[in-house]
């Protein structure tokens, strides 16, 4: 077996988390052989931006991630079928065995299809007209002109509904809860979100479930029939844990990992949507968490000490028409500040502990979203004028160096260092920075921050 930093690594999965891990292994100087088994035949792509392909604002090719570092053994279209822990060997669907010193499971998650009798055929496949959204080919199935019903009330359901409206399709959003995002928002914020969606011509059916689907119509439990050439199920995801279970690893909802992202076999790690940190109630922590896990694991596998201590809880809609962010938790707040402006569709609830943001819900004021997120992630004290903050007091980066590790674009996890590198390579305008880094190409909520950063950088060079 090779020593630390030079071990043979096999990565099962080639989504954004796995891609980031392989990239960071090279950055940290890992010297061993790295093999990646990717179930999809296509190159790795940025899955969080699928709704930008759905609405036509991005071509499918724009989501493609850079090629892996030189020397990476990439095996697209190859699924791992078994793990022999004793021999340290992964069996591939191509008939080959892949030996490892360290194995990383990045198998991701699959769309959760609820037990609705009309959603599946007798052979278990989705019924005609019933869709899910997890891959680029699934985006292509939703390009027709017919009305569509989106079933679900989470972030993806809202983002998909708005993307389909931008595409010109009539959309009905069916959710069994009292309002979309009811697991994340208090009633007042939920009511304002519902009003905003209706103003955007989304037919919102809350407190309803779907009972039947046939002939291009979806029947709700109140007897109403909704026109739906397609029914898109956005009802959650389930971690892909079959490989881990068959290998005898501990699995709850996801593959159980410790603070070094090790499973119950210390030579096997897991990260991303398939992993469940010990003590967590669920595995799905979002794209930002997977990104942070990849950084930690790359350092560890390259011989550097590192621990994953958890991530800041952040939920942000990737929809340009609705700027909404939920951060942290209100638990243990010493001070709560609420702004409710129904006439302008704005709502903000700020939970503070020791003068710092411990939780927040913000709907509407885009600049306030950016400012509060920055304060939360950096643990900085909140300005004394709370109202000005929630109303969107402008950020001024002049005279301030944005920390290299600070995320600017949360959709694409673009940091200050990424912007600086692109600037030094010749990207001097917001469109050029967007093309080089993908910043601003997600929900668009970071556009003002990138514009301010760009202006401050230009001023700094002029004065220097």
pLDDT, tens digit (0-9, with 9 covering 90-100), for 148-183: 999 999 999 999 999 999 999 999 999 999 999 999
pLDDT at 313 over 90: no
Asked, for residue 59, whether it belongs to a domain, the answer is yes
Edge-first strand listing for the sheet containing 230-233 = 130-131, 230-233, 148-151, 171-175, 202-206
Paired tokens of 363: 């709907």
Asked, for residue 4, whether it belongs to a domain, the answer is no
Q: Higher pLDDT residue, 259 or 401?
A: 259
Q: Higher pLDDT residue, 444 or 142?
A: 142
The total of other beta-carbon atoms located within 10 Å of residue 61's CB is 10
For residue 86, the 8-state DSSP code is T
pLDDT value at position 443?
54
Look up the CATH number of the domain holding residue 386: 3.30.390.30
pLDDT value at position 435?
79
Asked, for residue 251, whether it belongs to a domain, the answer is yes
Q: Are both 14 and 89 inside the same structural domain?
A: yes
Q: Are both 213 and 253 inside the same structural domain?
A: no
Asked, for residue 3, whether it belongs to a domain, the answer is no
pLDDT value at position 350?
92
Look up the CATH number of the domain holding residue 405: 1.10.10.1100
Range of the domain at 457: 395-464
Rounded distance, CA 257 to CA 250, Å?
A: 9
Of 129-143, 309-323, 338-352, 379-393, highest mean pLDDT: 129-143
Domain end point (choices 347, 375, 393)? 393
The total of other beta-carbon atoms located within 10 Å of residue 142's CB is 20
Q: Are both 136 and 228 inside the same structural domain?
A: yes
The dihedral of CA 254, 260, 264, 265: what is its sign? positive
Q: Which of 234, 266, 236, 264 is nearest to 251 (CA)?
A: 264
Confidence of residue 396 (pLDDT cuts 50, 70, 90): very low
Q: Are both 214 and 273 inside the same structural domain?
A: no
pLDDT value at position 291?
84
Q: Are both 258 and 202 inside the same structural domain?
A: no
- For residue 461, give the H/E element and its range: helix 447-463
Confidence of residue 429 (pLDDT cuts 50, 70, 90): confident
pLDDT at 4 over 90: no
pLDDT value at position 389?
85
pLDDT value at position 228?
96
Give the Cα-Cα-Cα angle 47, 52, 55 (nearest 5 degrees): 135
Average pLDDT value for residue range 300-319: 85
Confidence of residue 343 (pLDDT cuts 50, 70, 90): confident
Average pLDDT value for residue range 422-428: 88
Q: Average the pLDDT over each of 12-21, 79-88, 94-103, 311-320 and give the range with the smallest value.
A: 311-320
Q: Higher pLDDT residue, 442 or 90?
A: 90
Q: Are both 19 and 98 inside the same structural domain?
A: yes
pLDDT at 379 over 90: no
Q: Are both 228 and 152 inside the same structural domain?
A: yes
Q: Helix (H, G, I), strand (E, B), or coil: what is residue 69?
A: coil
Asked, for residue 311, whether it belongs to a domain, the answer is no
Q: Are both 333 and 417 inside the same structural domain?
A: no
Q: Higher pLDDT residue, 340 or 370?
A: 340
pLDDT, tens digit (0-9, with 9 covering 90-100), for 6-58: 899 999 999 999 999 999 999 999 999 999 999 999 889 988 889 989 999 88
Q: Which of 309, 300, 301 is nearest to 280 (CA)?
A: 309
pLDDT value at position 96?
97
pLDDT value at position 368?
79
Domain end point (choices 347, 378, 393)? 393
Q: How many domains does the chain have?
A: 4
Asked, for residue 443, whether it belongs to a domain, the answer is yes
Confidence of residue 398 (pLDDT cuts 50, 70, 90): very low
pLDDT above 90 coverage of the chain, percent: 61
pLDDT at 383 over 70: yes
Look up the CATH number of the domain holding residue 227: 3.50.50.60
The DSSP result for 18-57, as a single string, is: HHHHHHHHHHTT--S-EEEEESSSSPPB-GGGHHHHHTTS
Confidence of residue 290 (pLDDT cuts 50, 70, 90): confident
Confidence of residue 269 (pLDDT cuts 50, 70, 90): very high
Asked, for residue 199, whether it belongs to a domain, the answer is yes
Give the Cα-Cα-Cα angle 192, 195, 197 (nearest 5 degrees): 110
Q: Are both 261 and 401 inside the same structural domain?
A: no
Average pLDDT value for residue range 199-222: 96
Q: Are both 213 and 163 inside the same structural domain?
A: yes
Q: Are both 374 and 406 inside the same structural domain?
A: no
Paired tokens of 143: 């390009």
Domain end point (choices 372, 393, 414)? 393
pLDDT value at position 444?
59
Instruction: Give the largest CA-CA distance in the chain.
Output: 70
Q: Are both 103 and 179 inside the same structural domain?
A: no
Q: Average the pLDDT over each of 96-105, 262-271, 302-311 and give the range with the smallest value.
A: 302-311
pLDDT, tens digit (0-9, with 9 covering 90-100), for 212-229: 999 899 999 999 999 999
Q: In whole numbers, what is the pLDDT of the chain averaged over residues?
A: 88
pLDDT value at position 397?
41
């Amino acid at each position: 077996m090779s020593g630390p930093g030079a071990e043979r690594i096999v990565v099962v999965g080639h989504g954004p988390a796995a891609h980031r891990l392989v990239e960071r292994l090279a950055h940290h100087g890992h010297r061993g052989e790295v093999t990646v088994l990717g179930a999809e035949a296509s190159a790795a792509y940025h899955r969080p931006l699928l709704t930008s392909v759905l609405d036509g604002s991005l071509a499918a090719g724009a989501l493609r991630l850079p090629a892996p570092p030189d020397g990476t053994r990439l095996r697209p279209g190859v699924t791992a079928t078994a793990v022999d822990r004793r021999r340290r060997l992964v069996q591939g669907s191509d008939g080959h065995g892949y030996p490892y010193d360290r194995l990383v499971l990045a198998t991701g998650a699959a769309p959760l299809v609820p037990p609705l009798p009309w959603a599946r055929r007798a052979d278990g496949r989705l019924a005609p007209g019933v869709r899910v959204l997890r891959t680029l080919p699934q985006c292509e199935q939703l390009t027709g002109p017919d009305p569509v019903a989106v079933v679900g009330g989470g972030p993806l359901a809202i983002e998909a509904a708005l993307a389909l409206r931008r595409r010109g399709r009539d959309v009905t959003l069916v959710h069994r809860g009292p309002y979309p995002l009811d697991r994340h928002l208090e009633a007042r914020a939920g009511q304002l979100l519902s009003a905003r969606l209706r103003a955007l011509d989304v037919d919102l059916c809350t407190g309803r479930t779907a009972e039947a689907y046939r002939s291009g119509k979806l029947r709700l439990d109140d007897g109403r029939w909704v026109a739906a050439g397609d029914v898109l199920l956005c009802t959650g995801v389930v971690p892909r844990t079959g490989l881990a279970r068959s290998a005898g690893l501990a699995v709850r909802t996801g593959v159980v990992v410790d603070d070094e992202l090790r499973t119950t076999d210390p030579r096997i790690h897991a990260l991303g949507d398939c992993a469940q940190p010990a003590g967590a109630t669920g595995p799905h922590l979002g794209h930002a968490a997977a990104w942070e896990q990849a950084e930690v694991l790359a350092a560890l596998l390259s011989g550097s000490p590192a621990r994953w201590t958890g991530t800041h809880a952040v939920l942000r809609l990737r929809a340009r028409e609705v700027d909404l962010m939920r951060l942290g938790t209100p638990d243990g707040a010493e001070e709560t500040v609420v702004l409710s402006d129904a006439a302008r569709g704005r709502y903000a609830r700020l939970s503070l502990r020791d003068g710092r943001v411990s939780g927040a819900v913000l709907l509407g004021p885009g600049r306030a979203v950016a400012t509060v997120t920055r304060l939360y992630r950096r643990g900085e004290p909140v300005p004394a004028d709370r109202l000005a903050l929630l109303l969107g007091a402008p950020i001024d980066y002049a005279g301030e160096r944005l920390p290299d590790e600070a995320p600017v674009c949360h959709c694409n996890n673009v940091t200050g260092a990424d912007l600086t590198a692109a600037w030094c390579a010749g990207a001097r305008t917001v469109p050029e920075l967007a093309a080089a880094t993908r910043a601003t190409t997600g929900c668009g909520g970071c556009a003002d921050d990138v514009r301010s950063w760009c202006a401050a950088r230009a001023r700094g060079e002029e004065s220097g």
